[in-house]
Structure 1
Amino acid sequence: MQKSQKIAQCFSPAAFIHDTEENYQAIETLIKEQEIGGLTFFHSRHSAAANFEMRAEVLDVSGTFEKLIGLINRYQAISKIPLLISIDGEYGLAMRVENTPQYPFAITLGALKKEAEKWVEEVGYRMGLDMKRSGIHLNLAPCADVNTNPNNPVIGYRSFGDQAEKVAKLAFSAYSGMKKAGIGACLKHFPGHGDTAVDSHLGLPILHKTKTELEAEELLPFQYGIDRGVEMIMVGHLAVPALTGGKDIPASISRELITDLLKGEMGFKGLVISDALNMKAVANLYPEPGELEWQAFHAGSDILCFSDYVKEGIEKIAQNTSDEDVDAVFGKVMDLKKRLGVMESMTIEVPAFDWESHSKLQKELAENYVSVIYGEINREELKALAKGGKLGYHEFLNQNSSKFSQQLDLPFTSIEQAEKVILAVFVPSHKPLNRFGMDQTVLDEIQELAKSKPCILIHFGNPLALKHLGKLEDFEAVICGYQGFEEVQRVVVRLLGYGAKTPFQFPYE
């Protein structure tokens, strides 16, 4: 093979499931002429970034999954060396593909009360199987970021929590589950994106911490994984001056950080994957096409994701890199392809999902993470109030059209006449932009109700959104459901004392 062909195996540009035929053919040209090593699939150009808001509400595109399978088969059929197919699916295929199994967010799994590592590994295994059956070899997940900044605009729900040791264990469990399923996975976003206030899709976050502080928090989950044989790590677009000689250089293009620290000092022997090279934190630094790709490769990246300048990047790397260095990286990429079964890629049939088994898992998980986070629930009192016509109910921001209230099956009275009110809040977005998608008028109404009479708040959504609903002590009790899944709603109904023939017991009670 020629030098340029070996370098091309490092490239995994973006491929969009919903796109124009012209753009599909452009990908085919990259495969045929540049002989790229892989593709990273996204739903569409409108929703490629992790910070894209309200995707499911804005985009109404059907047949996404079938289209994905068709494109994988189409592209694999023309590639000389089978393509490494990857996707960024932190909570399963559903992060990018409608009508596929969705698993709980990392922040939800971080709330598991019992045998968390075992359950998180099972989730990783299940989502890994979904992907493997769909012709996907690599999931660009999980996040090993410690979310110590509650106002973080881009990590938040994607992190297992704000405690470094817990994040380390659960991120490794998720990784292990995916590996068990036969796909690749990677810890991200090295050296740690959790304590940042800037979204790297839009600008460059700078983390001002000492190396000692970073080792105790941000770096800990990555070191934990390295010590246990993690094979892939994604490097993020954030600057950490304490690790780069005081320079505000993105980690993804810092040789000091990737080659010297990660590979040298921390002992990482696996593959380094760059975060998307089109992100604003790095994309605007090098106006000359191909220079950014060279900088990322020179820093120590083995796989270059979402490059907008593949041809130029290959040429620039070929000009600046020795044959020996190219051979070393090429060998690592090809070994990965062999380990993940890429070289035996065959035509994929559209798989059928076992929805019954998926729902059973969701129920078992929900029973483990749904929590009364403030106050307590007096079931007998609720029953008595309901019978006496003194229990009120109000549902906010529910796009599932009263599914939850139907499950409650209680004789509710008007809010004005009620002595106690159950408030069910379905948070529209899991991301913090615009108060997690909640209208300020609705938030004001919730806070006024909580102060006017005893209220039980049921929060179906990202717990980080609770701060917008007022102080916890303004409510008599607060139940956090973490997600709006139907299985979660059923667990909450049983927690309130309804909807079950036998008294409900949490596994951790």
Structure 2
Amino acid sequence: MNTKQKIAQCFSPAAFIHDTEENYRAIEKLILDQEIGGLTFFHSRHSAAANFEKRAEVLDMSGTLEKMIGLINRYQALSKTPLLISIDGEYGLAMRIENTPQYPFAITLGAIQQNATELIEEGGFRMGLDMKAAGIHLNLAPCSDVNTNPTNPVIGYRSFGTNPQKVAELSLAMYQGMKQAGIGACLKHFPGHGDTQTDSHLGLPVIQKTKQELEKEELYPFQFGIEKGVEMIMVGHLAAPALSGGKEIASSISREIITDLLKTEMGFQGIVISDALNMKAVANLFPEPGQLEWEAFHAGNNILCFSDHVKEGIEKIAKHASEEEIDAVFEKLWKLKEKLGVFDFKELEVPTFDWESHAELQTKLANEYVSVVSGRIDSAELKRLAADDKLSQQCFYGNSKTTFSKKLNEKYGSDLSEVSTDDAEKVIISLFVPSHKPLNQFGMDEAALAEIKNLAQLKPCILVHFGNPLALKHLGDMSDFEAVICGYQNFEEAQEVAADLFLK
């Protein structure tokens, strides 16, 4: 291969599953003309823009999996060198593709009480098998960010928690599970995106901490992973002036942070992946096409994700980088492709998933994370109240036909939603939080929040919270509730387990 062909192996531009034929052909042109090394699949331009437009991502198109399989086959057939196919699927293919298995969010897995590392490794393994069956070689996950800032707009549910040791162990377990399934994974977003106030899709977050503070928290899970042999790390678009000679520069384009700190000081010898180069924290810094790609490469990134200027980026890198640098990166990427079986590509069939086995795993996980987080449940008293029509169940953002409601009604032998809160001596409030993202109070309106808070002050109430636990802060003082159960997800299995807590 010549120099430009070697450099092209670093590029993994975005490929949108739901797109126009004109845009599909533009990808084919990149494959044929620039000989790119890989593609990173996204659902659609609409969903990829969700972060920029400050709204929740909505996946509502049909046939996404079939379309992606068709596109992978189409693009691989054209490519002289088989493409490394990646996806950003932190909670499975379902993060990008409807009607595929969804796994719990990291914040949910962080609540597992017993055997967390083993269960999370099993979840990562199953997630990896799903991806491998769908032609994916590399999952751009998991997050090793320590969620120390509760108002963080971009990490939140994506983090395993607030304790650096726990985050280190659980993110490594997820990484190792995926690796066992034969796909690549990477810890992200180095040097740690947990304690930031800005969404890097929209601007440059800055962490104003000393290096010593960063080593204790943000950097700890990455150092832990490096010592355990992690082979890939993604660098985020966030500034940590204490690590970059006082400069407020995105880590993803900082040579001090990637080459001097991550590679030299922390001893990372593996592959460095850039976060998406179209994100506004960096995309607007360099008006000249290709300059950003060169800056990212020069800083020490080996895989350049979501580059909007592939041709110009290749030319800039060819102009400025040494042959030794280019060869060293190329060899790493070639070995990665060998290791992940990229060169053994065979035309893909649309996979079928073992939904029964997936449900069994979900139940096993839910039994460990669904829990009473405050107060206690007196099942004998609840049974007596239900028999006397003194127990009411009020559902917010769900309906009386949810699995949780149906199971309670079956066990108590009556429809609890028909008992008015005025007549009830106790109220079970089930809340299905509309969004896992913090925008607009996690999608909850003021009227519903006021009603829940008011009920909790008027009557003894048990709150059953299905969704991101960070949304609890909008529900007033938790001591106003007699008990609080966290279901973390609205999965059927989580609802079943939550209902069982009332009936023990």
Question: Among 410, 415, 420, which residue is 2:426 paired with?
Answer: 420
Question: Among 444, 460, 483, which residue is 1:454 paired with?
Answer: 460
Question: Among 425, 436, 439, which residue is 1:430 paired with?
Answer: 436
- Quote the Cα distance in structure 2 between the aligned partners of 1:164 and 1:405: 37
Contact 1:66 1:350 in 2 (8 A): yes
- Quote the Cα distance in structure 2 between the aligned partners of 1:399 and 1:53: 24
Deviations 1:440-488 (A, max 9, x none): 1100000000000100000000000000011110000000000000001
Corresponding letter in the other structure for 1:66: E
Summarize the alignment of residues 355-504 of structure 1 with structure 2, pairs less than 5 Å apart.
355-398=355-398, 401-409=401-409, 410=412, 411=414, 412=416, 413-497=419-503, 503=504
Question: Among 54, 57, 76, which residue is 1:55 paired with?
Answer: 57
Contact 2:211 2:242 in 1 (8 A): yes
**SS of residue in 2 equivalent to 1:55:** coil
Partner of 2:244: 244
Partner of 1:257: 257
Contact 1:143 1:159 in 2 (8 A): yes
Summarize the alignment of residues 5-44 of structure 1 with structure 2, pairs less than 5 Å apart.
5-44=5-44
Contact 1:49 1:201 in 2 (8 A): no
Partner of 2:117: 117
- Quote the Cα distance in structure 2 between the aligned partners of 1:163 and 1:399: 36
Partner of 1:184: 184
Corresponding letter in the other structure for 1:138: L
Greater CA drift, 392-401 or 425-434: 392-401
Q: RMSD of aligned C-alpha atoms? A: 1.0
Partner of 1:506: none
- Quote the Cα distance in structure 2 between the aligned partners of 1:455 and 1:315: 65
Contact 1:374 1:478 in 2 (8 A): yes
State the Cα distance separating 1:322 from its structure 2 match: 1.1
Matched, 1:99 2:99: yes
Corresponding letter in the other structure for 1:53: R
Matched, 1:171 2:177: no
Structure 1, unaligned runs of 5 or more: 498-502, 504-509
**SS of residue in 2 equivalent to 1:40:** strand
Alignment CA distance shift 1:61-1:256 (3 Å): same
Contact 2:403 2:496 in 1 (8 A): no
Identity %, equivalent residues = 70
Deviations 1:346-371 (A, max 9, x none): 10101110000000000010000011
Corresponding letter in the other structure for 1:227: E
Partner of 1:266: 266
Corresponding letter in the other structure for 1:207: I
Runs of 4 or more off by more than 6 Å in structure 1? none
Corresponding letter in the other structure for 1:454: P
Contact 2:86 2:137 in 1 (8 A): yes
Structure 2, unaligned runs of 5 or more: none
Corresponding letter in the other structure for 2:174: A
Alignment CA distance shift 1:353-1:443 (3 Å): same
Partner of 1:351: 351
Instruction: Calculate the TM-score normalised by the size of structure 2.
Output: 0.97
- Quote the Cα distance in structure 2 between the aligned partners of 1:405 and 1:113: 25
Deviations 1:416-459 (A, max 9, x none): 10000000000000010000000111000000000001000000
Partner of 1:154: 154
- Quote the Cα distance in structure 1 between the aligned partners of 2:115 and 2:466: 23
Partner of 2:72: 72
Task: Tell me the number of residue pairs that the alignment of Structure 1 and Structure 2 aligns.
Answer: 496
